[in-house]
Structure 1
Amino acid sequence: MNQESYSQIFISACLVNNFVLAYFLGICPFLGVSGKIETSSKMGAAVTFVMLISSICAYGIHELLVAINAPFLQLISYIVVIASTVQLVEMFVKKMSPALFKALGIFLPLITTNCAILAVALFQTNKGYDFFQSIVYALGAGAGFTLALLLISGLREQLELAEVPTAIKGTVLTLIVAGILSLAFMGFSGLGSN
């Protein structure tokens, strides 16, 4: 069992070891859905929800697989849970908000293959977190993912109003801004140490 406090786990997952800006996981929705703040916030909420459910299920699956001496089934079990959760989220969003479903486009079902979600399940297992630590870790990772999406989308909206040289418009500028954000998040690395 890991002895980290809940606040340490949350801050580490959200800021210090941000899945997008420190580990470079989940880059596809980070670059693809971050054009507008409204869309980014909804995608962040969807990813956070999937991370939370996957984390809870991963904890239970890990305990069960250890009890029956079958840890080799861990990865495939996590993938099945993630895919099922994403299908539920996709059906809910399609039913409740067709406009949002259309705005998220292909990126909503691609949450299934978002490596950040699988990483949450695998990292929490490897770190030996208990049930509540796993929940806090998933919430921190989701908050960090949402924060990264909101930051880049806010910057992209502002850059649409700026005069930018033609040579760096579009994807090039987005990648430059993402790199600068990543460098800025390196400043949080001191928060994780005792």
Structure 2
Amino acid sequence: MPTESLSFIFLNAVLANNFVLALFLGLCPFLGVSGKLDTALPMGLATMFVMLVSSVCAFAINQILVTFDIEFLRLIAYIAVIASAVQLVEMTLKKFTPALFRSLGIFLPLITTNCAILGLALFQTFKEYDFLQSLVYAIGAGTGFILAILLMAGLREKLELSTLPSLSQGAAISLMLGGLLSLSFMGFAGLGGG
């Protein structure tokens, strides 16, 4: 809806419709890189940057595709832009922070297949956001992703100091934590207006 205020769009993307904890998009890096705060924050920032670049490019691409009446190329164009943005992030991290590049491992190139990035581009297109609304939506979605991954990383670091039953160690406790975080964010559902 083009009549939504910018603050509503931002808060909706961060809390009520958080891409990870409410829409369940981008779970691969959320679960894979959230073991330590040292890697969670850079992954969140990298994802937010890719979301921002993808949002701007998706807006421009959509305008071109609509002008020439070739909207059927939307998905493939968005995927190409996302892959290019991820390559830019990957090359930058490899050049300036090789240790961080190595610690993120396979999860950095997996931003390309992160469904939250593609979902952002498609959602903003179908909601018919203008350029400024698209930017705010991307920043809100990125902020929500960072919030989710930092919450998960903080909880997982605290759990390392705890004694857990062997049955609930590893992936089991990570999935339980993700579910509890998701339930807590579902409390914000009323803010989204449906």
Q: Note whether the superposition's TM-score is higher than 0.5.
A: yes
Q: Which runs of 4+ in 1 moved over 6 A?
A: none
Moved more, 1-10 or 100-109: 1-10
Q: Which runs of 5+ in 1 are unaligned?
A: none
Q: CA deviation at 1:47?
A: 0.2
CA distance in 1, matches of 2:73, 2:46: 26
> What TM-score results when the alignment is normalised by the length of structure 1?
0.98
CA distance in 2, matches of 1:84, 1:157: 33
Matched, 1:110 2:110: yes
Determine the structure 1 residue equivalent to 2:58: 58
Q: Which runs of 5+ in 2 are unaligned?
A: none
Per-residue CA deviations over 1:51-86 (Å, capped at 9, x if unaligned) read 000000000000000001100010000000000000
Determine the structure 2 residue equivalent to 1:73: 73
CA distance in 2, matches of 1:70, 1:193: 32
Q: CA deviation at 1:192?
A: 2.0
Q: CA deviation at 1:5?
A: 0.4
User: Which residue type is aligned with residue 35 of structure 1?
Assistant: G
Matched, 1:8 2:8: yes
Count of residue pairs the alignment pairs up: 194
Q: CA deviation at 1:193?
A: 2.6
Determine the structure 1 residue equivalent to 2:122: 122
CA distance in 1, matches of 2:193, 2:174: 31
CA distance in 2, matches of 1:2, 1:140: 16
User: Which residue type is aligned with residue 128 of structure 1?
Assistant: E
User: Which residue type is aligned with residue 45 of structure 2?
Assistant: A
Matched, 1:151 2:135: no
Q: Tell me the C-alpha RMSD between the 2 structures.
A: 0.9
CA distance in 1, matches of 2:165, 2:110: 32
CA distance in 2, matches of 1:18, 1:38: 22
> What TM-score results when the alignment is normalised by the length of structure 2?
0.98
